[in-house]
Structure formats: structure tokens, C-alpha cells
Copies of this chain bind each other. A is one copy, B any other.
Amino acid sequence: MFYRDGINATGIDRVIAGAGVAKASLYNNFASKDELIAAYLEAHLDRFVARLCELDTLTDPVERLARFFAGLARSAGEATFSGCPFANAAVEVRPDSPAHRVIERFYGELAGFFARALGAAPDDPAVTQLVVCYDGALSAARILRDPSCVAAAAALAQSILTARRARPVAPGATN
């Protein structure tokens, strides 16, 4: 529900109705809605990290990025697709929320995956560009309801990788 309808638009009453539990049961397991949101994001994060670990077993960086974006494209084609749950949540929760810490962890994992694929440091501009590709692809695909945004971003990501391999040193270096 948080993913489909948004966090603020999903009230506690709807959550417990959907889960078929009593209101007290929810508050026995989660101190507040903020904590529930954080747990919801944490579940997403766990699945996401597991997928990244699978992709890390691939030796070819091209293949890693290709599979990664292919998975995104598949998601974007589904009727339930509603963009990146972390980017969406970042708009709705406050920056000091426990949920926001999960969001930051997500971006850390994402940057780590791209950095490993590129053989670069996590703060490398090329890694940032890939993060931008991911974020923009899912945001645009969601708003425009057009999965081809993900395909375009996938091609862009490959070009970043290609450029990086052709010139794997920092810009400004004499090569």
C-alpha cells in the first residue's frame, strides 16, 4: 500500500484492514508509523541487496549493468510499478525520520554496486552518473508511464561504462 498509493495517503486504518490484524497488534510490533515505514523500506532494501549480490557474481561489468537495468525494465513494465520505493519515500518522510536512514543506506548500496562494476571509488563521478541514471529512469518511467525510459537509461549506463573503460583515469590527468 505504501508503495502503490504513497505513504501519507495510506492511513493506519487501511494498513491494519489490509493486514487483517488489530490496531493494538500493529503498535505492539511497531512503535509508530514512522517505524513501520522504516520497516517497509528495510524489507525492500533486503530484497534489493540480495539482487545486487546475485549480480556481483557476474564477471562481466557490461553484463552486470545490463542485467540490472533489464530487471528494472521488467519491473517498469508491470502494472504494479510505481517507481523507486526509496526515492518516493524520500519525498514523503522527513529528513530526520528513521525511514530516511534506510533510504541513505539504499543509496550507499546502490553506489557500492556501481562502484564495483566500474572498478571505481564510490564517490567517483561515473558512479554518481549511474546513480543519476537509476533514479531518473525510475522517476521518469513512473511519471510518464513509459518503461522505455528505463531502456534509454540502460543504454546511457553502458555508455558511461564504455567511456570509463576507454579512459579509466581521472579527468585532468595527462594520458
Contact = CB atoms under 8 A, between A and B. Distances in A.
Nearest to A8: B8
A139 B142 contact: no
Q: How many subunits of this chain does the assembly comprise? A: 2
A131 interface: yes
Q: Majority SS of interface residues in chain A?
A: helix
7 contacts: A6-B8, A91-B92, A107-B143, A128-B140, A128-B149, A132-B137, A136-B137
Interface residues of A, number: 41
Nearest to A125: B152
A89 to B, nearest CB: 9
Contacts of A143: 86-87, 90, 103-104, 107, 135
